[in-house]
Amino acid sequence: MNIRYLMALAVVVTMAMSGCDNKDDGKLSTDLVTSPKSASETSNKQAAIKFDKEEHDFGSLLQGEVVSYSFHFTNTGNMPLIITEVGSSCGCTVGDYPHEPIAPGKKGDIKVTYDSKGHHGFQSRSLTVMSNTNPAKTILRIKGTVQTPDQY
């Protein structure tokens, strides 16, 4: 090896070593960890949502019929449950949810309304429930078979 290469290497190593801040004795910082399941928890307080069921079958529907179903849930965690959004896979499906926090052990409902106007045959829709739980997303499903008046 030539002398210039060794000197350049020594300068780079010296600069790298002087820029290090080893105040944590080589331990990794957990400041950026956001998932309580992936880090050692100092607190196990968490909201948890448990649905009685996560799928509902409306069976046979007459085209144009508007039907509703309420998904019942319980906050099985030890912190208030906050549902921030219920999104649907189609504009024909709307989810109505409680906007106030649900205390631990208390129950609530997410009412789903499906409008079959313009649809026919087997239909399946999903709703995405976003909340302060881990995981933050829960998927609910509705399905049914929409029949035209001549099929009903």
Question: Is the confidence at residue 131, as pLDDT, over 80?
Answer: yes
pLDDT at 89: 87
- Give the lowest-confidence range in 37-41, 60-64, 95-99: 37-41
pLDDT at 35: 44
pLDDT digits (tens, 9 = 90+) for 66-109: 999 999 999 999 999 999 999 998 999 999 999 999 999 999 99
| 8 Å CB contact between 38 and 124 | no
pLDDT digits (tens, 9 = 90+) for 42-60: 468 999 999 999 999 999 9
The candidate with the shortest Cα–Cα distance to 121, out of 143, 94, 90, 92, is 143
CATH superfamily, domain 49-147, is Immunoglobulins (2.60.40.10)
Using 50, 70 and 90 to split pLDDT, how confident is the model at 26?
Answer: very low
For 38, phi then psi, to 5°, come to -100, 0
Burial 13-38 (b: 16+ CB within 10 A, else e): eeeeeeeeeeeeeeeeeeeeeeeeee
Q: What are the E-state strand segments in 26-134? A: 49-51, 55-62, 66-75, 83-88, 93-96, 107-115, 121-131
d(CA 144, CA 139): 17
